[in-house]
Amino acid sequence: MKNKAQSIIEYAVLFMILVAAITLTHRYLYGAMNARLKHVQEGLTYTK
pLDDT of 8-33, one tens digit each? 999 999 999 999 999 999 999 999 99
Which three-class secondary structure state does DSSP give residue 16? helix
The band of 44, judged by pLDDT with boundaries at 50, 70 and 90, is confident
pTM of the model: 0.66
Cα distance between residue 14 and residue 20, in whole Å: 10
The band of 48, judged by pLDDT with boundaries at 50, 70 and 90, is low
